[in-house]
Structure 1
């Protein structure tokens, strides 16, 4: 947490943005990798009369499970981060010595930010935090947290649903598996582009790197019997 987190938000209890680019894209990639792995595992069991249906529900179930886990972990992360902010705010407010309060803020800052913010700026932040009367006693969930968790669940499920869809639309398991893997690699390519643009790298290079990672994982799954 940076020192400015306590003053940039409307309240120390506010939740962080749900759709952080890095978190959302990485979680989407994890979901795609999981779906790819589960589909490969089911295909290794052997094809049967109900193989397409079985693989569709396996891939869809994987997406649902990952979306649920992602949503729950978002709630955990939100509560922990909010608790950290509340604890820091109370520590600053209860510290009678201004210099000690400034040091408390500095200790909570990210390492890369410490050389950029001097004690004068931190003292200003300390005074603003100490003057606040709306600091909650402890971190609790608010309604928007559950709305955000539901949004993450839907995002992950909807974004990875194309991995499962070929098994519902294509009767031939081998063909459906190829289409599913191609869609997965294409979505990984798009995710890599998004991460590349966000990080300031070349979008195409990052997209190709992420797609290559997906292809390598696919080859590994096939080599293991998937």
Structure 2
């Protein structure tokens, strides 16, 4: 993949996933929390003919809209970041002063990594960037961007079902609430484990922390009128 992030990595066995672990878990949790704002408002007192089915379709509609908005913003963010990289590449390519090119590269680095890279190393990168052929004039979308956006949409929408589907499957609202909450906590626990392993922490501790955080956030969302 070139420095601007504009090319598709076809034929590369070490290709990175379109959405990493943090992206996938974050979108799943967003969808869960959105659905929980509806489930949290359900109680035995509100039970009625078709109440569970109506709640399910309302939650599903909300997450359809949320998933679409999140997918579009993923594309906007991707194109913006790609544009920044492309602008940097063009700046270096047209910069006759090597030292200025190195400074531009250093400015673009994350703060935590800046002290770890010497100017001599950045000069090697600058020289390679300066010789990149056929740089596009503007950022463009590639196939993986669309795949990533679709993946986000699917994850957000799919997260509705464990939370809201029990209200369609069970006519007794208290029973449906219990099943919904158990499934939601289990999914939050699994999400926390995935993040824990990804970060190099203890999986089960991260799972418990995520489950506790999810319960606290749900209470806060409902309390604030969500």
TM-score (norm 1): 0.87
Return the offset for 1:135.
Answer: 1.3
Note closer, same or farther for the CA distance 1:71–1:92 as it changes in structure 2 (3 Å cut). Answer: same
Q: Does the aligned pair in 1 maintain the 2:59–2:164 contact within 8 Å?
A: yes
SS in structure 2 of the partner of residue 208 of structure 1 = helix
For the pair 1:110 / 2:110, whether they are aligned, the reply is: yes
Return the offset for 1:23.
Answer: 2.0
Note closer, same or farther for the CA distance 1:166–1:84 as it changes in structure 2 (3 Å cut). Answer: same
Q: Which residue of 1 aligns with 2:90?
A: 90
Residues 126-135 or 141-150, more deviating? 141-150
Q: Which residue of 2 aligns with 1:12?
A: 5
SS in structure 2 of the partner of residue 48 of structure 1 = coil
**Gaps in structure 1 of 5+ consecutive residues:** 1-7
Q: Does the aligned pair in 1 maintain the 2:41–2:222 contact within 8 Å?
A: no
Q: Which residue of 2 aligns with 1:23?
A: 23
Residues 20-29 or 61-70, more deviating? 61-70
Q: 1: distance between equivalents of 2:222 and 2:131?
A: 61
Residues 43-52 or 101-110, more deviating? 43-52
Q: Which residue of 2 aligns with 1:170?
A: 170
Note closer, same or farther for the CA distance 1:218–1:151 as it changes in structure 2 (3 Å cut). Answer: closer
Residues 88-97 or 212-221, more deviating? 212-221
Q: 2: distance between equivalents of 1:214 and 1:66?
A: 18
Q: 2: distance between equivalents of 1:223 and 1:102?
A: 51
**Gaps in structure 2 of 5+ consecutive residues:** 9-15
Q: How many residues align?
A: 219
TM-score (norm 2): 0.87
Q: Does the aligned pair in 2 maintain the 1:166–1:176 contact within 8 Å?
A: yes
What are the Cα deviations for residues 67-108 of structure 1, in whole angstroms up to 9, with x where unaligned?
Answer: 212211110111011101101101111111000000000000
Q: 2: distance between equivalents of 1:183 and 1:47?
A: 21
Q: Does the aligned pair in 2 maintain the 1:162–1:180 contact within 8 Å?
A: yes
Note closer, same or farther for the CA distance 1:175–1:223 as it changes in structure 2 (3 Å cut). Answer: farther
Could you say what the CA RMSD is over the residues aligned between the two structures, in angstroms?
2.4
Q: 2: distance between equivalents of 1:23 and 1:96?
A: 39
Q: 2: distance between equivalents of 1:27 and 1:225?
A: 22
Q: 2: distance between equivalents of 1:143 and 1:222?
A: 39
Which consecutive aligned stretches of 4+ in structure 1 deviate over 3 angstroms post-superposition? 8-12, 14-17, 41-45, 217-226
